[in-house]
Chain A
Amino acid sequence: METKTSILDVELIRSEFPILSRKVNGQPLVYLDNGATSQKPLSVISAISKYYTYQNSNIHRGIHTLSQEATTAYEEARTTVQQFINAEHTHEVIFTSGTTGSINLIASVFGKKHLKEGDEIIISTMEHHSNIVPWQMICEEKGAILKVVPINDKGEFLMSEYENLLSDKTKLVAITHVSNTLGTINPAKEIIAKAHQKGALVLIDGAQAVPHTKVDVQELDCDFYAFSGHKMFGPTGVGILYGKEDLLNNLPPYQGGGDMIKTVTFEKTTYNELPHKFEAGTPNIVGGIGLAAAIDYINKIGIDKIEAYEHELLTYATEQIKQVEGVQIIGEAEKKASVLSFVVEGTHPTDIGTIIDKLGIAIRTGHHCTEPLMNRFNIPGTARATFSFYNTFNEVDIFINALKRAIKMLL
């Protein structure tokens, strides 16, 4: 059944993503693994190709024209990101290798400067390993303590438990904006405000939020915000760390190398200013430029329209999957974004994934890098379909039919 929606011209959008017209195992590809990575529109692919064809040069240090052109393109990309997340200053936008790189950066430099024995860091049960392990590492090093905010059976953040955990010992709170496994949209603004009342800083893991919803870092009042290029239609290997200017200025550099210094002598090195202080070595120049092209693409379609369309798609998929016998949805928060995680009674997620892959459908199965969350639900993993604005209602139908077929084979 094709439900009509006039929010987006999805057929036109699909024609701009070349990979969506390929076949997999002899079947038209139905790509529902957008939570792992998104596909790339032609405008991003051609920005990457154009860079290597016409602009390739090292940045920030060349006297020649080509280097200046490449530097301009890279710094314009930074401005594009700044406007996209509404940061106050361009130099509050640090290019990193991705969300993981951004979180490790803050965990390392914040820990080095501010953490001492007995201090506490708060995360939640639904965090991705990338927002658990860096904090565990720095806590172990400094003798600090990691506290975990529990969730309810629907997969929602428990605000009252959070309030109980917050104390004068809390130095930093690191919470995901949108859960990659459950789809839960966390009340980031409230979480941030409550931490600030206790004098703690807040890092938001925005990897799963930025592709689906409007993010305004000033409105959120977050101290740090991390996200990846490849989940928002840009290239892999590039991501962003946003940080408030005064906080970033007061943190020590992360890695040493070229570009992050002002002067170097064997006696003493002085560090460069923001944002370069945190960007040692030749960066992923083409990654930054590709990411800016992806943001231009999102802006062309409109993030509000994307959010509204994906909401319809998720609602439809949820209704449909609830009618399949034996299916249990994992993650039924009131506010959800584009993620449909589920288990099927009597089957293993990997078997479901293997069979529907044969039918051309790409989903993810396993623990989704959230093992503690799987333990919370007492399951080995889930099957997870994640939607993007280029997915159609018809694809949801194909997916549901394939799921039914897989269940029939397996039981």
Chain B
Amino acid sequence: MTIQESQEEIVEEFALFDEWMDKYEHIIELGKDLPIIKEQHKTEENLIKGCQSRVWLYAEMKGENIIYTANSDAIITKGIIALMIRVFSNHTPKEIAQSDLFFIDQIGLKEHLSPTRSNGLVSMVKQIKMYSIAFQAKA
């Protein structure tokens, strides 16, 4: 599935929820299931510090593709991270670098990507892209 297709799939999934509460319950569940970052990668170096919550992000190459793992101390942030990883992980650096992030807006979670929220998510999106550019440069 391409990055575009994964995003479209998520938008469709979220269209099922009429109530904000159902949507958040789903995100919380996703957060609980997130394949979390290995303890050895939960380092200061991989920490994205927000004012409200902390995010750890680690990236490594497996064959042609980048594999992202991440964690957060806040569960809603973690749920949104799970969605991001579903979209971006296991794609080539070039695909990731060239992609647009649109699903967050379309499922009505734009507020979580606002810089004022300071939950580390904005920096995380930047960091995902940075890794793809860095791995591209190395290749």
Contacts and interface: CB of A to CB of B under 8 A. Distances in A.
A binds B: yes
Interface of A: 25, 347-351, 353-355, 358, 365-367, 380-381, 409-410
Contacts of A355: 24, 76
Contacts of B76: 350-351, 354-355
B32 to A, nearest CB: 10
B92 to A, nearest CB: 34
The list of the 7 closest CB pairs from A to B, nearest first, reads A348-B74, A350-B52, A350-B74, A350-B53, A351-B76, A351-B74, A351-B75
B53 A358 contact: no
Interface of B: 20-21, 24-25, 28, 51-54, 73-77, 119
A292 B25 CA distance: 47
Nearest to A405: B21
Contacts of B25: 409
A347 B52 contact: no
Nearest to B112: A354
Nearest to A381: B52
Nearest to A346: B75
A358 B73 CA distance: 20
A365 B119 CA distance: 11
A410 B77 CA distance: 12
B77 A350 contact: yes
B52 A366 contact: yes
Contact of A347 (B20, B21, B24, B75): B75
Given A355-B24, A358-B20, A409-B24, A380 B54 contact: yes
10 contacts: A347-B75, A349-B52, A350-B74, A354-B24, A355-B76, A365-B52, A366-B52, A409-B24, A409-B28, A410-B28
A350 B80 CA distance: 14
Given A348-B73, A350-B77, A380-B73, A358 B21 contact: yes
Contacts of B51: 366-367
Given A348-B53, A365-B52, 13 more contacts: A347-B75, A348-B74, A348-B75, A350-B53, A350-B74, A350-B76, A350-B119, A353-B52, A355-B24, A358-B20, A358-B24, A409-B21, A410-B75
Contacts of B28: 409-410
Contacts of B75: 347-348, 351, 410
Contacts of A353: 52
Contacts of B119: 350
Nearest to A347: B75
Nearest to B73: A348
Contacts of A410: 28, 75
Nearest to B79: A351
B13 to A, nearest CB: 19
A349 B74 CA distance: 8
A57 B60 CA distance: 62
A319 to B, nearest CB: 28
Nearest to A353: B52
A357 to B, nearest CB: 9
Nearest to B75: A351
Contacts of A358: 20-21, 24
B18 to A, nearest CB: 13
Nearest to B54: A380
A305 B119 CA distance: 39
Contacts of A380: 53-54, 73
Nearest to A406: B24
A380 B51 CA distance: 10
B113 to A, nearest CB: 13
A351 B51 CA distance: 13
A348 B78 CA distance: 11
A25 B20 CA distance: 10
Contacts of A366: 51-52
A8 B51 CA distance: 37
A64 B83 CA distance: 64
B137 to A, nearest CB: 35
A186 B25 CA distance: 42
Contacts of A381: 52
B28 to A, nearest CB: 6
A370 B44 CA distance: 21
Nearest to B72: A348
B85 to A, nearest CB: 19
Contacts of B21: 358, 409
B129 to A, nearest CB: 24
A350 B53 CA distance: 7
A288 to B, nearest CB: 28
A14 B21 CA distance: 30
Contacts of B52: 349-350, 353, 365-366, 381
Contacts of B73: 348, 380
